[in-house]
Structure 1
Amino acid sequence: MVKLTDQKGIALPIVLVLIAIMLLLGITVVSVINYDSKTIYSLNSSEQALHIAEAGYNKYLWLLNNDTYFYKFGENEDEGFRIESTYVASENQEWAGYTKAYEKTAYSSGNKLIGYFKVEVTPPTISNPVVGVKSTGWTADSSAYRTIYVEIHKRMFTNYIIFENGEGKGVYFSSDSRIKGPYFSNGDLLAYSGAKFFDFVGYVKNKDVKGVDFAKEPVKMSRLQMPATNSELTVWGYPDNGGYTYTGRTYILLDNKTLKIRQSDGTLSDNVSHPESGVIYIKSDINDRGDLYISGVLDGRLTIIAEGDIYICAKDPTDNTIRNNQKEYNEAYNYQGITYASGDESIPTYENKNPANISDDMLGLVTDNDIIIHNRTNNWPVANDGSVFTAVENLKIQAALYCRTVRMQDLNYFERNNKNLKQIKYIGSRIVRYPSATGFTNGSGYSSDNQFDYRMSYDAPPHFTEPVNSGWEVKSWREVSSQEPLP
């Protein structure tokens, strides 16, 4: 017979081992759950901080869409954008007074505080014509911080030395054309062999450019749509909005920081300060198209919109002294067109993109009709078929021009009288529906020297007309350390 031994002593240790294993597994599971919960909490907090940072950027972008130049001095307390600090001249002369950083802003969902964001701004420069937006977001308990840096740019008409809308018959750039700045056509790109483009070139339809010298290969792009009217600009010329409005033919001399203005009824106003809004509106009436005659030197920023034509004069158009012969006209002071008080050397151009003291002067001339170079009269300053020749050699036009076309008052008069006036030196931007000539191949009239004002790669005169389909485009997006300084 097999004798059974007592197994109580064996069973107890087995039970204890099993309990220990189960306890160990339980502790492990609890530890894993706790670890995963903390990880998930951490990830959620981090993602939440990123969401808040992006919300801060999006709010700022919304404000920029309402005001293209909000990045300069913009403040909107209703949206939580209160200026904390501004740039000083020692950081960048051109940025002096611009917004550098906003105070931190609470970010809530309903009545629940989610966290905070803080927005800092890097204004554009000639070498980097984008607005930099640094947005830092953090959770309400400060457990997580995330920072993004986004560079954005808005396509403007003034981004180009010449913008052509492509209306009418295309005109070829001549073989001696030198285009020293970005060029864009809503139509065809047309140039004869020998023409030279020194910067970016864009076009929409077709090109015929055999033998043309390009700094960069031309790029086929989408259209920039011109608005049907300039009504959004004219409202800034209303007195209620800080502008000036004049009715009928108006004569203006830019007299540095002030204006001299003669109205169609003969009323003369001297030492007129620049309008608060920066905009003057010349409107038509039943008997008058609302033409503008202008010349002089501008110290400041100004946009003038006229419902009629705009005549660029070499001499003071507010001076209605009778000048019935050439000698009397020649004795009047020669302003040579329209220039900036800061001087040519202060305007960033292709030859000198970084002048020591960059100009803060900027002029815009806007009309749905023509901008005309004044060249004939017998009743100064009215442009007519008189025998007094009013054009001068080496005319200067420093401005952004928006019009149907830029042309001579009477181009054939130059050829009939064999008048060679050397050149028109444009510094700025020309936005035209179609191009036209200011001279002939035989040398009569004006040749043109086209220089882009590189400030206009990111800036424009006050409330200047914008494309219908223009919006802010993201050029770069990256996440950065919240302590990383602005570029």
Structure 2
Amino acid sequence: MKKHYKNEKGIVLPIVVIVFSIMLILGFSLMNTTDSETKINKRDEESKRALQYAEAGYNAYLWHLNDDVNFYSIEPEKLDKDTRKLVNGEAIKFKGGFYKVKVEKPSDTDRYVKITSTGWTKSNLSNKRTIVAKIRKKQFVHQVYVSENDGSNIWWTSGDECHGPYHTNGVLRVQKTPKFYDTVTYSGGIDDQVRTSNKEHVYLAGEPKKVEKLGFPKNNEDLKKWAEKDNMVFNGRTCIYLDGDNVKIRNGNSKEIKSYSISQNIKNCVIYVEGNQKNEYRNFYDKFDLNAANVFVSGTLNGKLTIAAENNIYITAIDPTIWDMPEYFTDKGIEYYGTKFNGKKDGTGTGSEEMSALDSEKNIYTRYALKKNGGDGKDMLGLVANNDVMIMHYGWFKYKNENDLDDESYQYDWVKEHYLFWYRWVKVPKKIDVAPKDIIIDSAIFAVNGGFGFEDYDIGGSKGHIVLWGNITQNKRKEVGTFNSNNGENITGYKKKYAHDPRMFYDYPPHILEPTNVGWEVIEWKEIDAHLH
């Protein structure tokens, strides 16, 4: 029987073709997948590098801010070519790509430096990444009031007003109904005797919060280096009268009053007084000691200046370069010539709104620095004492009254000591009250190892208000008056109306002291769509 076999030779070729086609398709698919993954990985890598370049732009600008906290205020023409490109927002080459930076400096109401930085690679100009950071450097002058220690029995009470951020490293003590128009922070503790029903009327920007301490420096000696550059270091008692751009100075027992132009003679904007640093005196007139590193200052400032003393600074209501007792007060303390302040940007605030006004859109209380007298609105003063900054209460350099010792400087030698003893402790000299009813102080005040207060605060009758625009930084809070604990009314001394100079969020008195734990705080960090930038 014959066996018949099917001829399968013709079927092999189609099978091979089909298998080859499948393999070819799979190969192409694999190649496409690999190519796609390569492109995706490349884009992802480029995107990561673009973000790194954006961060590099941020760090480049931050480096300049660390070198000069007011870097954003420097005119571009004064910068070198590369730095000018940075501040002008031009593209800057970096490694395998570019970055460009845009910066918005703080304002009276927006308190942070806003840095927007965009990065991209050379190989893909369209794949950009943009970051936005809001930062702020720790500064004492960002608050209207800072203290290391608030003392054991000093309170904020009815009639006191604080128009600006407040901070104490110690214990915050509040009773009755003072008004805090801005944030309140503390590091040590809080003794809050405000009734719950009154809290929203006392803490207008929210209840107090506990935060990190601000580190106090040991002294103000760094300022001396700046004063030395302009030969503006004086030894012993120094009387200073601010007369616009001119500073009148009477040093020691000199009969000569010398005049210096801030813009022409004090380029580094610092005056420093050295000498004896005795802070505790037996009598009210010992502060006039010729060898003491004390400054007496008043007047009107046109420009920027920092005055520092190794001992105390006394703010007077009379020109302290004139030692004869005047018949009337010619000044009200220290004011700016070309800068005024108001709660409203248009300067129309009245009454309580003169120092703070509610911005309903931002839901914050605002304060503004405005121009006056045709000035530029940039006047700024720093008063920095190693010990106390005091409002002067009693005494003057030279008495012309009957029964007073007629001596220009209250300087005595040992031969006169027997008479001095009788004069001081038996005869008792007359205390002439030289403190005005209300006193205006436009300044950043820094009492490094002491405090800000009113000399002999518990003697005499009640005054009016201390109206301060600027900042008070003090190691230990000192008294400015006494009050009735039942009704909060003043018995002696002053009530407080302290308002923050809003420019001090972004501009500072020359070479003002910074916290020892100074650094830039990142308030906000986020990435935004680069195409919207």
TM-score, normalising length from structure 2? 0.78
Residue of structure 1 aligned with 2:291, choices 274, 281, 288: 288
Separation in structure 2 between the aligned mates of residue 176 and residue 346 of structure 1, nearest angstrom: 19
Q: Tell me by how many angstroms 1:412 deviates.
A: 4.6
- 1:150 is matched with 133
- 1:371 is matched with 389
Contact 1:175-1:191 within 8 A present in 2 as well: no
- Are 1:361 and 2:361 matched, yes or no? no
Residue of structure 2 aligned with 1:260, choices 212, 223, 248: 248
- 2:310 is matched with 307
Q: Deviations over 1:103-157 (max 9, x none)?
A: 433223xxxxx22222221000122100011112121334332221111012211
Separation in structure 2 between the aligned mates of residue 170 and residue 76 of structure 1, nearest angstrom: 53
- 1:460 is matched with 508
User: Which runs of 5 or more structure 2 residues have no equivalent in the other structure?
Assistant: 278-289, 345-354, 358-365, 400-407, 411-428, 484-489
Secondary structure, counterpart of 2:476 in structure 1: coil
Aligned AA (2:91):
K
Aligned AA (1:28):
S
Aligned AA (1:424):
I
Moved more, 278-287 or 199-208: 278-287
Separation in structure 2 between the aligned mates of residue 18 and residue 483 of structure 1, nearest angstrom: 49
Separation in structure 2 between the aligned mates of residue 225 and residue 104 of structure 1, nearest angstrom: 39
Q: Deviations over 1:146-191 (max 9, x none)?
A: 2211110122111222211116434222233222222111111111
- Are 1:318 and 2:306 matched, yes or no? no
Matched residues, number: 453
- 1:432 is matched with 474
Contact 1:251-1:261 within 8 A present in 2 as well: yes
- Are 1:474 and 2:525 matched, yes or no? no
Moved more, 226-235 or 68-77: 68-77
Separation in structure 1 between the aligned mates of residue 213 and residue 55 of structure 2, nearest angstrom: 30
Contact 1:224-1:467 within 8 A present in 2 as well: yes
- 1:96 is matched with none
Q: Tell me by how many angstroms 1:451 deviates.
A: 2.1
Contact 2:245-2:302 within 8 A present in 1 as well: yes
- 2:442 is matched with 398
User: Which runs of 5 or more structure 1 residues have no equivalent in the other structure?
Assistant: 86-98, 109-113, 324-328
Q: Tell me by how many angstroms 1:399 deviates.
A: 0.7
TM-score, normalising length from structure 1? 0.85
Separation in structure 2 between the aligned mates of residue 391 and residue 233 of structure 1, nearest angstrom: 29
Q: Deviations over 1:40-96 (max 9, x none)?
A: 1111111111101101111221221232222221779999852249xxxxxxxxxxx
Q: Tell me by how many angstroms 1:277 deviates.
A: 2.0
Contact 1:393-1:421 within 8 A present in 2 as well: yes
Q: Tell me by how many angstroms 1:310 deviates.
A: 0.4
Residue of structure 1 aligned with 2:209, choices 211, 214, 219: 219
Separation in structure 1 between the aligned mates of residue 368 and residue 77 of structure 2, nearest angstrom: 33
Contact 1:75-1:81 within 8 A present in 2 as well: no
Change (3 A) 1:460 1:229: same
Aligned AA (2:38):
S
Contact 1:259-1:273 within 8 A present in 2 as well: yes
Separation in structure 2 between the aligned mates of residue 102 and residue 76 of structure 1, nearest angstrom: 14
Contact 1:378-1:386 within 8 A present in 2 as well: no
- 1:90 is matched with none
Separation in structure 1 between the aligned mates of residue 180 and residue 102 of structure 2, nearest angstrom: 37
Secondary structure, counterpart of 1:440 in structure 2: strand
* Structure with greater contact order relative to length (CA < 8 Å, sep ≥ 6): 2
Contact 2:313-2:389 within 8 A present in 1 as well: yes
Aligned AA (2:45):
N
Q: Tell me by how many angstroms 1:234 deviates.
A: 3.0
Q: Tell me by how many angstroms 1:347 deviates.
A: 7.7
Q: Tell me by how many angstroms 1:428 deviates.
A: 1.4
Separation in structure 2 between the aligned mates of residue 422 and residue 66 of structure 1, nearest angstrom: 43
Aligned AA (1:405):
G
User: What is the identity percentage for the equivalent residue pairs of Structure 1 and Structure 2?
Assistant: 30
Separation in structure 2 between the aligned mates of residue 316 and residue 15 of structure 1, nearest angstrom: 110
Aligned AA (1:427):
W
Separation in structure 2 between the aligned mates of residue 387 and residue 78 of structure 1, nearest angstrom: 56
Secondary structure, counterpart of 1:49 in structure 2: helix
Separation in structure 1 between the aligned mates of residue 292 and residue 69 of structure 2, nearest angstrom: 31
